[in-house]
Each structure stands twice: as C-alpha cells, then as structure tokens.
Structure 1
Amino acid sequence: MRLVVQVKLLPTPEQASALEATLHACNQAATYASSVAFAKALKDRNGLQKQVYADLKITFGLSAQPVVRVVKKVVDAYATLKANLQAGNLGPPTSKRHRAAVSSPIAFRPEAAQPFDDRCLSWQYDARTVSIWTVDGRMKGIGFACSSDQLKMLVTYRKGESDVVQRGGKWFLIATCEIPDPEVYEPADFIGVDRGVVNLATTSDGTNYQGHRLGRYRRCQARKRAELQKKNTRSATRRLARRAQKEKRHATQVNHRISKEIVSVAQRTGRGIAVEQLDGIRERVRLRRDQRGTLSSWPFRQLGQHLAYKARKAGVPFLEVDAAYTSQRCPRCGHIERANRSTRDHFRCRRCGLAGPADVVAGVNVRNRARSAWVFVTAPAPTP
C-alpha cells in the first residue's frame, strides 16, 4: 500500500529564500506550459515537452530535470481534470463549474507543491538533512524534523518523488512510501460501525463517538466565518483561508483518533471492521435548507477512508456493506418499518419489542450483513 509521510523542513533564511524563488519559478513555468497545452490541445507528456522544453530552460531558468518534473505536473493536472469531468464531480456540461473548468487553461498558484525526483532531491537520513536543487544552485544541509517512526518508514519504504510545499510561511517535504500489505487474517467476527452526524461513529459493541464537540466547534467557526465575510477585505479573506485549513485539520485529527481506536480494538480481538457503503448519499438525500451545511461538512467519507487504510495497514479485514434499512431493521426478527425508529436516538421493534439505542442497532445490522458478506468474499471461485 502507498502512504504519505510529511516532514517539516528547517531551512535557514537564505535557504528559505532560495526555496521560495524555486517554487515560484517552477509554478510560473507550469502555468506557461499549461497555456501551451491548452492552446495546442497537447495532453501527452512527450508532445508537450518538445514544445516547451527550450522555453522553460531559457525563460524560467530551470535545469533539465526540473523541466521534466514541471511538464509531468501539468500533464497530471489535465489528467485529473479529465477524470473529474468524466466522473461528474464538476457538474453537468451546462453547469457554471464545468464550463469554467474547460474554458481556460489550468493555472498554478505561486506556492503550489512542486515534485522533485531523486536527481533533484536527495535524503541524508543519518544527519536528518536533504539536498535540493534550486534556481540559486544546489542547497545542501537543509534540516528536517520528523518522528522516529516516520524516519524509519522513510529509510525502509520511501520510493518515487517528494513534494516541496510551503504553507503559512512554513516548509514541508511530502514523501511517498510503498509499504507491503500484511496478510489479512481470518476474522472471528466483525465490528459494525454506523456513521452519523450527531454521533460520528457507533460500533456494534456499544462504543459511541459523539459529534457534539465537533459540531459545536463547527458552529463557532461558522459564526466567525460570517463575521469575517461581512468585512469583505483582503485581510479578512486571508484569515478565512487560514480558518478553513484549521477547521479541516481539526476534523481530520478527530477522524484519525476514532479510526485508530476502532482498528486497534478489531486487531486486538481478532475481528474485522464493517461500515455502511454511503457513496452518493448527498445526491440521494433531500434536505431542508438549514440542514445542507451540516451534511456538507459531515466528515463521514474521510472517516471511512481512514478506517480502510488503517485496517489494511494492520492486516484487519475491512468490508463495506449495503446501507439500506440498517436504521429501520430489527436485528432479532428482521422486521423493517420506519416506525421502528420513532426518534433519532431510540429504536423499538413494532413486532418483537426489541429496544435499544438506534445507532447501536444500526451497527449490529452492519455487523450481521458483514458476517454474510464475508462468506461470499472468501468462498472459492466455482470451477468451470
């Protein structure tokens, strides 16, 4: 599996100035190459490189290998745009977002990440330094800080490009690590996980990870965001961008903590993890106007992604099961009725009388479906 390790760079003021000049030059070059690719409909790497290679070296002062990386970044950006258009992520062809995306070339921010391969960037793990090509020459001895676990992963599994990023005046280096997948064990049972808004996650064991604190934090941020939006100044816009990133990091940290604990319990007890398949829920569900913001900021997808990759890393079986009627079905008698869940928090079967917390019942239904699904997943393929 592929994991990303982010380390913090510790450049001197001179080194930071050279890195900033390099990042700006590479992104200016990428914007120019993007305009050429758009004007001449060049989306293949070799064709675009023939057109812009000399210009990028002479006009923007890039060496040969950084030019190759810049061209690849542009080609990858257009490939990503094409995939998003085909998947409908930018709306139908008549939508404003779709038309804006296809009517002009892709532009790159001056601080956008720039990939470097091993010819442009080398790691010195023992000294915890890196050597990076810049427009001012090769910068050696740039220190970086990371945990011991991150360093061990970099030494053992780092592979491919590393991205240099500047965020909030700080410098980071993002490296890709290719980790071999551990063997998935045969689960003794499953832990069903029900994801929600009020309760971020509830397991079939009865463990409840409430979302009250995260919801309160988001409402507080929404009030402050509204105050800044009223000012409509450049300073307010910058503060809005910083607050958005801070809120995103906070929700990510909450999801990391929840998923880590669930995977740890599953690994310790020899069980697998099962979640509801919630793809396309925003298109299926119709909400009132005052509920749309809550659903849009609901981090259920990220929580599922964290559970999936942490389970894969630990060798824990992971399944996504059908989400239909998990909150209305009685796990004892199988009766399905909307009235079984009279309120958001309480479940009571109209046929057999089974009662309990609604989210726990949903988690049990997810677990029961995973038990049945695992039989089909592990069943041998029929012989022709």
Structure 2
Amino acid sequence: MKLVTRVKLLPEADQAAALRRTLRIINDAACWVSVVAFERGVPREYELRRHTYAELKARGLGAQAAQHVIKKARDAYTTLKANIRAGHLGKPGSKRRIKAESKPITFRPEAAQPYDDRCLSWQLDARTVSIWTTAGRLKGVRFACSPEALAMLREHRKGESDLIELGGEFYLIATCEVPEKPLNQNPAAFIGVDLGIANIATTSTGYRAAGRGLNRHRKRQLDLRRKLQAKGTKSAKRLLKKRSRKEARHSANVNHIVAKTIVTTAERTGCGIALEDLTGIRDRVRHRKDQRTQLHSWSFRQLASFVEYKARRAGVPLVYVDPAYTSQLCCQCGHIERKNRVDQATFACRSCGTVMHADDNASHNIARKGETVWTAGRESRVPAPA
C-alpha cells in the first residue's frame, strides 16, 4: 500500500529563494497549460504535450519538469470530471458546478510540484537532498524528520515526491510503498464503531473517545479567529497567518490516536472492524444555524480513512455498513422505535426496557451489521456449484 512521509526542508537563504522562484514559475506555467487544455477541450496528455512542451522548455523548465507540469494540469481536469460525475459539485445547472466548468483550473503559486528520481535525489545518511530548480541543481539542501520517518524513507520510499510551500516553509512529501500484512480471512468477531460529535468514536468493546476536548479546542479557535478578524490590524493578521491550519493539525492528531487505538484492539483480538457509511450525511441532515459550524467541522471522513489505511496495513478486515436505524434499534431485542432514543446519551427500549448509553447501543448494532456484511461478502465470492 502507498503511504506518504513528510519531511521539512531547511534550506539556506539563497536556496529558499531558488525553491520559491521555481514553484512560482512552475505553477504559472501550469496555469498556462490549463488554459490551453481548456480552450482545446481538454485533450489527452499526449496531444496536450504537443501543444505545450516547446513553450514550457522556452520558459526555462527542464524536460522532466515540463512533463510533470503537463501531467499535473491534465490530472487536475481528470479529478474535476470525477468530482462532477460523483455529484460533489452539485446538480447540473447549480452555481457551484457552472463556476467549476466555465473557466480553466488555476494553481496557487505555492502549490505542490511532483519530482521524480531524475529531478530529486536523497542522501539519507547526511539528511540532505539534491533537487532541480530553474536556477540549476541545488545540492546539500538539509531536511529534518523524525527517526520513524527516516526509517520509512530508507526502507520503503518509492516513486515521486512533492515539493510544497506552506506558511513560508518548504516540505517534501515522499511516496512510500509499505507491504500489507495478510488479511485475516476468519475474524473472531467484528468491532462496531459508532462515529459522532459528542463522542468521536464509541466501540462495541467499550472504548469511548470523548469529543469534549476537541470541541472545546475548535470553539476556542473559532472565537479567537473572530476576534482577530474583527480587529483587522497588521499584528492580528500576522497572528491569524501563524495560527492557520492549527485546528486541522490538532484534529488530525486526535483522529490518528483514536484510529490507532481501534485498529490495535482489533488486531490484538483477531477481530474485524465495522464502520458506518456516512457518505452524504451533511446533505441529508438539517441543523439549526448555531449547530452548522459544529457539524461541518466534524472530520468523520478523515477518521474513517485513518482507520481504513491502518487496518489494511495490519491485515484487519474492515467493512462499511448502512447506519440506518442503528440509533433506534435495540441491540437486545431488536425493537425499532424513534422514542427509544430518549436524548443524545440515553437509549431506553420501549419493548424490553433495556437502558444503556445510546452510543454503546449503536456500536453493538453496527458490529452485528458488520458480521452480516462480511459473511455475505465471503459467500458471494464462493463459485456456484456445477
């Protein structure tokens, strides 16, 4: 499986200027290629290369850099087309979709640029890289990373690495090919995971990751942003820039910890994992205005993706189940009724009288659905008897 490792570059002043200038020139060229592709109806990459390669070389780009710029522009349109087909940009005729389809794709001046082994070489023992720029090859550019990341690079790095500028600092995002453990084809049971806002995740094994701390952190960040934006001074804007992406980094760290706990438990007990398929929930659910920020800050998809790749790496089976009625269904007697869910935290069955935490009840229902989905999937792969 493919994973990425991010390392921070520590260039000298002249090296940083060369890297910054290179990204600006490359992304300006990518915008021009995007305009050509848009005007010509987004042709195939080979045809687009015929119309743009000579001009890119004239702009000072190397052969490999020019190829990557063309591919980056073409891939951006492929992604746009996939998002439109999946309905992520709204229905035909919607403002968002019309806006996306009516003009060429643009690239930020500091957007990522892929480098292959012809343009970038790693000296892992010295912790330096040699990288191509429009000013020539830069050698001995230092980088910093954790010992775990260095080991990952040494053992598994393979393929392209992306150069990106974030907040005035440069990073290399390297692709690593990590072997997966053999999938456990006979899990002892399934661990149901109920995702939520009040509790980030609740499992049928009794683990509960409370969301109170994360929600408080998000509220503090929101209040601080509002104060700084209202102030509007230069120092306030500098602080806003300094604190940018802090909430996203904190949320990602919490999700990594929760995902690792869930997968480690499943691996140790020989179980599989059942997650709710919450695709499109933001379009289906309606909330009051004061609740919308909390709903749209909910990073359930990120947590699910973390659990998914960690499970693949550990060989743990993972299935997605339909979340319908999991909060109204009694895990003891199977009675479904909306009134069973007394409030956010309490479940009280109107039929058998079972009382328990609502998230615990839902996680048991998800675990049971996971076993059903896994069994049906295994049976469907068995060839029919002759």
Q: Is TM-score (shorter-chain normalized) higher than 0.5?
A: yes
1:86 aligns with 2:92: no
- CA–CA distance in 2 between the matches of 1:322 and 1:307? 17
Whether 1:334 aligns to 2:334 is yes
Structure 2 match to 1:272? 272
Following TM superposition, by how much is the alpha carbon of 1:373 offset from its aligned partner in structure 2, in angstroms? Answer: 2.2
Q: For the Cα contact (< 8 Å) 1:123–1:131, is it kept in 2?
A: yes
* Aligned partners of 1:273 and 1:316 also within 8 Å: yes
Amino acid at match of 1:109: R
Aligned partner of 2:150 in structure 1 is 151
Q: Which amino acid aligns with 1:98?
A: R
1:109 matched to which residue of 2? Answer: 108
Question: Is 1:352 the equivalent of 2:352?
Answer: yes
Report the alpha carbon displacement of residue 205 of structure 1 after superposing the two structures with TM.
Answer: 1.8
Partner residue, 1:69: 68
Distance 1:240 1:140 in 2: 34
Residues 119 and 132 of structure 2 are in contact (CA less than 8 Å); yes or no, is this contact kept in structure 1?
yes
Q: How does 1:180-199 map to 2 (within 5 A)?
A: 180-185=179-184, 186-199=186-199
CA distance in 2, matches of 1:42, 1:200: 42
How far off its partner does 1:232 sit? 5.7
2:369 is the counterpart of 1:372: no
* Deviates most, 94-103 or 308-317: 94-103
SS of the residue 2:205 aligns to: coil
Q: 18-27 or 235-244, which moves further after superposition? A: 235-244
Alignment match, 1:38: 38
1:217 aligned partner: 217
Mapped to 1, the partners of 2:11 and 2:43 lie a distance apart of: 36
After the TM superposition, which of the residue ranges 345-354 and 223-232 deviates more from structure 2? 223-232
Residue 71 of structure 1 deviates from its aligned partner by 0.7
42 and 367 in structure 1: CA distance in 2 versus 1, 3 angstrom threshold = closer
Per the alignment, do residues 233 and 92 of structure 1 end up closer, same or farther by CA in structure 2, a change over 3 Å counting? farther
Corresponding position of 1:205 = 205
Deviation at 1:238, TM superposition (A): 6.5
**Which residues of structure 2 form unaligned runs of 5+?**
none
CA RMSD of superposed structures (Å): 1.8
* 1:351/1:193 CA distance change after superposition, 3 Å: same
CA distance in 1 between partners of 2:193 and 2:130 (Å): 45
Assess if the C-alpha contact under 8 Å between 1:199 and 1:212 holds in 2: yes
Q: 2:248 and 2:63 mapped to 1: Cα distance?
A: 37
Q: Who is 1:383 aligned against?
A: 385
Tell me which stretches of 4 or more aligned residues in structure 1 moved more than 3 Å. 228-244
**After superposition, where does 1:22-61 map in structure 2 within 5 Å?**
22-58=22-58, 60-61=59-60
Contact 2:42 2:77 in 1 (8 A): no
Distance 2:159 2:173 in 1: 11
Three-state SS of the structure 2 residue aligned to 1:200 is strand
Equivalent residue number for residue 171 of structure 1: 170
1:156 Cα deviation from its structure 2 partner: 2.6
2: CA distance, partners of 1:305 / 1:242: 28
Deviates more, 1:36-45 or 1:302-311: 36-45
3-state secondary structure, aligned to 1:42: coil
Deviation of 1:22 (Å): 1.0
Cα 1:249–1:192 shift into 2, 3 Å: same
What code does the residue aligned with 1:355 have? V
Distance 1:237 1:86 in 2: 39
Is this contact kept in 1: 2:277–2:322, CA < 8 A?
yes
**Deviation, structure 1 residue 371:** 2.1
